[in-house]
Structure 1
């Protein structure tokens, strides 16, 4: 066997521009808004559950109350992380490169190939356009 096809990780980076900052902040704010909607839904469920608990004393209702509390805590933590990310985007230096994500691609390798070149691949984007493949 002289050749083999592998799946390798590919790092995707973005060059920070004003447009990137605007898009990133808009995406993060959209996610924060969706969490706010979920929190409002939880508030409604909690009020409805409290009213049911006043009428009936069932153990299952208390379990549901605990689940709502845990879900609210998780959503609030995620919301705070997103707010922190919005602040971080504002502090990014124009022209710098930031990691956007990871992908995978197939690569054919053969005896004698430089392993570092096989694995060390990254794509650089600027305003949605590929500017480099390294």
Structure 2
């Protein structure tokens, strides 16, 4: 066998710009608005269940309220995580590089190739455009 094709990760990094920060903060704030609406909806549903409690099975109503409270707490926890991300994003310096995620690529390798050169590939993106490929 002379060559083999491997699937290798590519790290995608974003170069921080004012536009990047603005877009990130906008998306994070939209997520918080969505979570707030979901929490409000859950609270309304809980009040409705409590108001109808006298007509139903108390144990079933209690279990339902408990599940609703758990869902509410999950969303509140997620909201706190997003608030932390907002703080982190606001603190980013223009020009810094942040990891956005990973992609996969197919690479044909042969005897004598170096693994670090294959495994450590990065793409640098600035405002949605690839500006550099690094090995």
Runs (5+) with no aligned partner, structure 1: none
Superposed, 1:118-133 pairs within 5 Å as 118-133=118-133
1:46 aligns with 2:46: yes
Superposed, 1:29-108 pairs within 5 Å as 29-108=29-108
2:25, 2:18 → 1: CA distance? 11
1:6, 1:45 → 2: CA distance? 52
CA RMSD of aligned residues (A): 1.1
Instruction: Give the secondary structure class of the aligned counterpart of 1:93.
Output: coil
Instruction: Provide TM-score, normalisation by structure 1.
Output: 0.95
Runs (5+) with no aligned partner, structure 2: none
2:127, 2:72 → 1: CA distance? 36
1:20 aligns with 2:20: yes
2:33, 2:109 → 1: CA distance? 46
1:83, 1:110 → 2: CA distance? 47
1:59, 1:6 → 2: CA distance? 56
1:102, 1:52 → 2: CA distance? 49
The structural deviation recorded for 1:45 is: 1.2
Instruction: Provide TM-score, normalisation by structure 2.
Output: 0.94
1:44, 1:106 → 2: CA distance? 51
Residue 3 (structure 2) aligns with: 3
The structural deviation recorded for 1:77 is: 0.6
The structural deviation recorded for 1:56 is: 2.2
The structural deviation recorded for 1:114 is: 0.3
The structural deviation recorded for 1:115 is: 0.3
Deviating above 4 A after TM superposition, structure 1's stretches of 4 or more consecutive aligned residues are none
Show CA shifts across 1:90-120 (max 9, x none). Answer: 1101101011111111111111110001110
